[in-house]
Amino acid sequence: MRQSKPPLHVALDRRSRVPMNRQIYASIRDAIRAGRLAARTRLPASRVLARDLSVSRTTVVLAYEQLEAEGYITGRRSAGSFVEDLPLESLAPRNRARSALDPSQEQVARRLVALARQAAGPPHVHAAPVPFRIGEPALDLFPARLWARLYSKQTRRSAGSPLGYGGVGGYLPLRAAIADYVRSTRAVNTSADQVIITRGAQQAIHLAVRVLLAPGDRVWVEDPGYLTARAIFQSAGAAVVPVPVDAEGLIVSDGMARAPRARLAYVAPSHQFPLGATMTLARRLALLEWASRSGAWVLEDDYDSEFRYAGPPLASLQGLDTAERVVYIGTFSKTMFPALRLGYAIVPSALADAFLAAQALVDHVAPTFEQMALREFIEDGHFSRHVRRMRAEYASRQEALLAGISRELEGLVHAAPAEAGMHVVGWLSSRGADAAAISNRARADGVEAAPLSAWTMAAPRPPALLLGFAAVRPRTMPAALAILRRAIAPRAR
Ligand SMILES: Cc1ncc(COP(=O)(O)O)c(C=O)c1O
């Protein structure tokens, strides 16, 4: 093995807004791509590089984890991290002249890049867990061995037909298991043939857009709200109408005043993202009444309601709908793990064929072995056991976070308990605080506290940080809170 000749040259710009871990990552990545760091070279230990660069060890660990997640290096436990053996010719910059787009194509591509960037919020794709990152379950507590056993059992048993394309709509026994599950836990009215298995909630939203929207159609979205959904609507040429939310959820009368003839309303009634309200019955009925009267559709995103701490999961909006105007979306990204890429849309019978047709054009079918293993995981009771365990664990992690906030961030942040989900909203006590700048400072030190402003559209809100608690191990909480405290009050002791 080659040893990197210390010191490894890493260019750091301490005045840059780019977090240190991203700078270290980019510098090493570029050295690998340019061949300056040869295959099988051992990188310095994170502790050593952190000392050489005068940054925290977490910062270097984050950079190494990102490099590993993207395949530039491999970590071999105590032996250290090594540069992968990569086909460098294929990483060489492409011939620009050949790949240049003409101006109209370039405009289309640029618009898509801009929409995706807006939707992404703080950068977090691929990287390993970071304290307080939102939307991330406790991946270390997932029963990975059990899952691997179920999965490999399917692949061993299933020579032949499961290796083919499979049916559009998904693996029928899993569709039936999901229908049973949502009927009993969420009072959703459905049969298995209304369940369309998708690659996560995200693909379910795409299919709904394909089936329900034409360019120029108006769509209500919650403000603040889930920006990925907004970007998907915009990428299809829809006109997005931000509708404010309050403690009762989406303000339906506001939507009706702004865009009475909207074609679609996108809502998360069980647990509004990101403020956390549960939509009241009066608002639910008003929304359904508007949809049925005006011929609009409602897209109900039920992304994390399994984790409800005050009583059992709530009945869905879909279950109240007598006019078949609701498309209900669920995901296994939070209850299982995001990389599984399995979710579902439950569609009115009249739309089932159109959804299947849209899916046939997009990706034909979700991966079959994952679906078969998931069906067994559900039917054998592992799924409900895991969700029950995580609910208890997240409840105690939330308690630890709230106690930590009142102890470590007293006078700086106040937060109320979240009734559901995996994050709390930490309101900054100083009304003039710059949440985005605080978030950048925290990120440079390895903590991700996303500013609420990243998800607001038209209605301004007081400064706040979104703090995920599900993936934060209790013993890392005090150090993470100390970093947050320094980011909020850098001059305080
Ligand atoms: C509001 C909302 N809906 C849906 C999802 C889940 O998306 P997916 O199933 O595509 O992972 C998320 C994930 O963060 C979310 O925040």
pLDDT of residue 6: 47
- Backbone conformation region of residue 405, classed left if phi is above 0, alpha if psi is from -120 to 50, else beta: alpha
Mutate to test the pocket of ligand 1, among 125, 203, 273 (most ligand atoms within 8 A of CB): 273
pLDDT at 137 > cutoff 70: yes
Q: Which atom of ligand 1 is nearest to the CA of 135?
A: 14
DSSP reduced 3-state for 448 = coil
pLDDT of residue 383: 97
Measuring from each residue's beta carbon to the nearest atom of ligand 1, which residues come in under 6 Å?
A: 135, 200-202, 226, 268, 273, 301, 303, 331, 333, 338, 343
Which positions ≥6 away from 319 have C-beta within 8 Å?
186, 187, 188, 189
| Ligand 1 centroid, distance to 162 Cα (angstroms) | 28
Please report which helix (H) or strand (E) contains residue 29, including its range. helix 20-33
| Ligand 1 centroid, distance to 77 Cα (angstroms) | 32
Nearest Cα to Cα of residue 340 among 353, 331, 348, 349: 331
pLDDT of residue 466: 97
Q: Which atom of ligand 1 is nearest to the CA of 343?
A: 9
Q: Are strands 264-267 and 249-250 parallel, antiparallel or unpaired?
A: unpaired
Q: How far is CA 460 from CA 19, 208, 273, in A?
A: 26, 29, 16
DSSP reduced 3-state for 58 = helix
Is-contact 329 439, C-beta < 8 A?
Answer: no
Q: How confident is the model at residue 32 (pLDDT cuts 50, 70, 90)?
A: confident
44-81 confidence digits (pLDDT tens): 998 899 898 888 888 888 888 888 877 888 887 778 89
Distance CA 162, CA 160 (A): 6
pLDDT at 301 > cutoff 50: yes
Q: Are strands 423-428 and 239-246 parallel, antiparallel or unpaired?
A: unpaired
Beta strands in 429-478 (DSSP E): 450-451, 464-468
Is-contact 205 240, C-beta < 8 A?
Answer: no
Pick the residue whose CA is nearest to atom 13 on ligand 1: 135
Cis amide leading into 274 (omega within 30): yes
What's the whole-model pTM score?
Answer: 0.83
Angle at 320 (CA atoms; ends 315, 321), nearest 5 degrees = 140
Provide, for the chain, the percentages of residues in helix, strand and coil under a 3-state DSSP scheme, each rounded to the nearest 5: 45, 15, 40
Q: What is the mean pLDDT of the chain?
A: 89
Distance CA 287, CA 252 (A): 6
Most distant CA pair in the chain, distance:
72
Q: How confident is the model at residue 2 (pLDDT cuts 50, 70, 90)?
A: low
Report the interhelical angle of 200-212 vs 227-235 (nearest 10°): 40
Highest average pLDDT, of 59-73, 152-166, 474-488, comes from: 474-488
Mutate to test the pocket of ligand 1, among 267, 333, 340, 466 (most ligand atoms within 8 A of CB): 333
pLDDT of residue 423: 96
pLDDT at 441 > cutoff 60: yes
Exposed / middle / buried, residue 261 (Cβ in 10 Å: 0-12, 13-18, 19+): exposed
Nearest Cα to Cα of residue 394 among 134, 129, 138, 186: 138
Distance CA 263, CA 63 (A): 44
pLDDT of residue 38: 87
| Ligand 1 centroid, distance to 426 Cα (angstroms) | 21
Token pair 């591509």 is at which residue?
109
DSSP reduced 3-state for 265 = strand
Q: Are strands 297-301 and 264-267 parallel, antiparallel or unpaired?
A: parallel
- The secondary structure of 295-358 as a DSSP string is T-EEEEE-SSTT-BSSSSPPPPSGGG-SSS-EEEEEESTTTT-GGG--EEEE--GGGHHHHHHH
DSSP 42: E
| Ligand 1 centroid, distance to 331 Cα (angstroms) | 7
DSSP 77: G
